[in-house]
Structure 1
Amino acid sequence: MQYLGAHMSIAGNLCNAFEHIRAVQGTALQIFTRNQRQWKIPPLSSQEVADFLAAWEDWGEYPVVAHDSYLINLAGNKDEAVQKSIHAFTEELRRIEALSISGLVTHPGSHLGDGPEKGLQRYVDRLDRCFAESETSRGMVLLETTAGQGTNLGARFEELAWIIEHSQYPERLGVCLDTCHVFAAGYELRTEEGYQQTRDQFERILGLDRLQCVHCNDSKGELGSRKDRHEHIGRGTIGSQGFANVVNDPALAQIPFILETPKSKDLHEDVANMQALWDLVRH
Structure 2
Amino acid sequence: MPRPQRAAAAKAKSKPIDFPESSEASSSDEAAKTKVVEHKSVQVRETITAKEKPNSSVTVTKLEKTVKTTVKLKPKAGVKRKAGEDNDNDSNSDNEGQKSTIQKKVRASTKKNPPTMIPAVARTVGMKMLVGAHVSMAKGVQNAITNSNNIGGNAFALFLKSQRKWASPDMKESDAVAFREACKESRFDPKRHILPHGSYLINLAQSDKEKAKQAYDCFIDDLKRCERLGIGLYNFHPGSTLGLPRSEALARIAAHLNRAHKETRFVKTVLENMAGQGNIIGANFEDLRDIIADVMDKDRVGVCLDTCHLFAAGHDIRTQASYDTVMANFDRIVGREYLVALHLNDSKAPLGSNRDLHQNIGVGFLGLEAFRVLMNDKKLEGLPMVLETPMKVESTWAEEIKLLESLVGTPGNDPDFLVKAAKLSAKGEEERKAAEAAEKKKAIKKAPKPRKKGGKKQSEESWEDGNTEDEAEHSCEH
Query: What's the CA shift for 1:185?
Result: 0.7
Name the CA distance, whole Å, in 1 between partners of 2:307 and 2:162: 25
Quick one: which amino acid aligns to residue 217 of structure 1?
N
Give the corresponding residue for 2:384.
256
Give the corresponding residue for 1:215.
343
Give the corresponding residue for 1:164.
292
1:224 counterpart SS class:
coil
Give the corresponding residue for 2:171.
44
Give the corresponding residue for 2:148.
21
| Contact 2:311/2:347 (<8 A) preserved | yes
**Deviations, residues 105-138 of structure 1 (Å, cap 9, x unaligned):** 0111101111322211221122222333xx2120
RMSD: 1.3
Quick one: which amino acid aligns to residue 73 of structure 1?
N
Give the corresponding residue for 1:124.
254
Name the CA distance, whole Å, in 2 between partners of 1:227 and 1:191: 21
Q: Give structure 1 regions of 4+ aligned residues with deviation exceeding 4 angstroms.
A: none
Name the CA distance, whole Å, in 1 between partners of 2:369 and 2:254: 36
| Contact 2:238/2:282 (<8 A) preserved | yes
Per the normalisation by structure 2, the TM-score is: 0.57
**Does 76-85 or 154-163 show the bigger shift?**
76-85
Query: What's the CA shift for 1:253?
Result: 1.6
**Deviations, residues 184-215 of structure 1 (Å, cap 9, x unaligned):** 11111001110000010111112211111010
| Contact 1:93/1:131 (<8 A) preserved | no
**Deviations, residues 213-270 of structure 1 (Å, cap 9, x unaligned):** 0100001111111110000000010101111111110111221111000112x31211
| Contact 1:240/1:280 (<8 A) preserved | no
| Contact 1:41/1:88 (<8 A) preserved | no
Larger Rg: 2
Query: What's the CA shift for 1:81?
Result: 2.4
Name the CA distance, whole Å, in 1 between partners of 2:154 and 2:256: 34
| Contact 2:159/2:197 (<8 A) preserved | yes
Going by fraction, where is helix more abundant, 1 or 2?
A: 1
- Ranges in structure 2 where 5+ consecutive residues have no aligned partner: 1-127, 411-478
Name the CA distance, whole Å, in 2 between partners of 1:209 and 1:218: 25
Give the corresponding residue for 2:132.
5
**Does 25-34 or 271-280 show the bigger shift?**
271-280
Give the corresponding residue for 1:58.
185
By relative contact order (CA 8 Å, sep 6+), the higher-ranking structure is: 1
Name the CA distance, whole Å, in 2 between partners of 1:244 and 1:21: 23
Give the corresponding residue for 1:239.
367
Name the CA distance, whole Å, in 2 between partners of 1:281 and 1:248: 5
Match of 1:189 among 287, 305, 317: 317
Query: What's the CA shift for 1:64?
Result: 1.1
| Contact 2:155/2:384 (<8 A) preserved | yes
Aligned-pair identity in percent equals 37
1:148 aligns with 2:276: yes
Name the CA distance, whole Å, in 2 between partners of 1:233 and 1:281: 15
1:276 aligns with 2:276: no
| Contact 1:90/1:131 (<8 A) preserved | no
Quick one: which amino acid aligns to residue 203 of structure 1?
D
Give the corresponding residue for 1:110.
240
Per the normalisation by structure 1, the TM-score is: 0.95
Quick one: which amino acid aligns to residue 166 of structure 1?
D
| Contact 2:258/2:297 (<8 A) preserved | yes
Query: What's the CA shift for 1:12?
Result: 2.1
Query: What's the CA shift for 1:278?
Result: 2.2
Quick one: which amino acid aligns to residue 275 of structure 1?
K
- Ranges in structure 1 where 5+ consecutive residues have no aligned partner: none
Match of 2:231 among 101, 105, 123: 101
Q: How many correspondences in the alignment?
A: 280
**Does 231-240 or 123-132 show the bigger shift?**
123-132
Quick one: which amino acid aligns to residue 97 of structure 1?
E
